[in-house]
Structure 1
Amino acid sequence: MKEFLEKFSHKLIEQAPQLAYVITESQNKRYPSMQLLEKELYPFRISLVELYAESLVMEESERIDKLKKWGEQAGAEFAKYQTISLDMMLREVPNYRNIIGTVLKHEALAADLSAAEMYDVISLLDSTVNDVTYFFSVPFVRYEKEVLKLSQTLITELSVPLVSINEGTAILPLIGTVDHDRALILHERVLHNASKLQLEYLIIDLSGLQNTDTFVAQQLFNLFDALCLLGINPIVSGISPAIAQTMVNLGLSFGRIRSFSTLKQALDHIGR
């Protein structure tokens, strides 16, 4: 068996350029956008066929280490290409399995392998293909999660804009829902920017706020207290009947914080 695997490995390495070409043609037909990266993908496919070939004659521990190292590097590299998705790359897996399997069939018949020996070789090839898929996918998914997290952070930061309307006054319109992550960014950005702008008044408009519960109310009161410690007067506007009723049901009161039903009323109060 060892002699056959070594011979088969050499055969795959010799045919790597042709096999990679067949895979490239298949993928270009399925995903025309991949043609734009053919110069990068074709050498990658050659090296992957060679990797399969070399892995077949390695001990399991050595094979796993090599595939893991390859997957970390290749997955991280290709994840950065905006025109390539993980789905596209995973669609290549059956191509390698089928094409290498075809070569294996001819070589096994020529070597007159038994059914048991053929089963062992196919199992080894399947295991290698599965490991390649896994180790390639891990950094790819990790990169996409990092990009998604960054996008969510940017969106959340944009959802707490501080709008300056004159030298000493700004408006903070709260739109949508306030969760734990947004509350943290709300406190950090608002306090930093309000202090930087040297505000006297900050109008916090709640007319676009969708959720009002104990958590949201507590976050608002914490923000009010922090603003007061900075010498900034918080003013609340956009108090709808639903928000007012919720506050009453929760037994909460804005206390010394001035509140108004509309933004215009809050601005008129500051003007007076």
Structure 2
Amino acid sequence: MKMAVMDLTYVQGHTLHQFIANNMDFILKEWNYTGGKFKFFQSAKATPNSLQQTFENLFLIIGREKPKINRNELAKWAEQIGRKRAKNDFPIYYTLELFHEFRDLFWKTLYSYIELSEIELDSNELIELERYYNQAIDFAIYHFAVNYVRQKNEITRLQQLALKTPRVPLTPLTDEIALSTLIGSMDASRLENWTEETIDNIEKLKIHCLIVDVNHLLFTDPTILKSFLHSLQGFQWIGCHTILTGMNYKDGRELIKTGALPEGLVIHANIKQAIASLGGLSVHPEKPISSTKELRRVQRKRQ
């Protein structure tokens, strides 16, 4: 059975890539119409625009004349999409269905181009063309799946590391100054718990200044770093002057690039500099607070 020609516009002399770019709006409507849009939005893990943009980018990368497909560009695209979908917890089977929809619509588009441009191809040339584009699509699927699984494994590893990370106690330096030394990895769940515990301790222990050291802390994602900085700013809103120490170069560059540093937050290279900026404090003789019993003991002593 002969494949139907799609209602696309062909401009004399246009290449396949130009043909696809010129008809992209119609191609996207066709994809939405055939169920691609509605099928994937059921997951509620990606926005309509992001899925449509993904589909469009893939079409433009693969939709080049043989042998002009850039494998490096295709691999980079697949890596970015694989890691992004894994971070967003977008089900892998939905994306694999997306590839299936893509392959079907791409071949309809390619066939329409061949028919409208009146290109003459013999059976061997058609077979080579089919092999070339199917290999490119399979290449994209492979690199997507590999990077999706890698990112998922990394997320799982960091989550397990966070669970194994021992709770670091709050260390009083004076009656009104304390130190929070964070180690291990910081993900969204741990950040939420740490923020709540710290606010509770600031209130109960009447802490007016908190030094937070992150020299041995790994942020699992740039968004976690931003949320962490917002937490530090929140401490200041409830009357606790906050000093950040131990920020590494990588996270520092991220802050400079995004401009995410909260206004008024003080940063020092290390704990020693932070203490010196406060007039040179001597460490409080009490042991770190690591239990509810010890917390109550310190509270009674300070009342």
- TM-score scaled to structure 2, two decimals? 0.44
- Give the structure with the higher percent helix: 1
Q: Which has the larger radius of gyration?
A: 1
Bigger relative contact order, structure 1 or 2, given CA contacts below 8 A and separation 6+? 2
TM-score by length of 1: 0.49
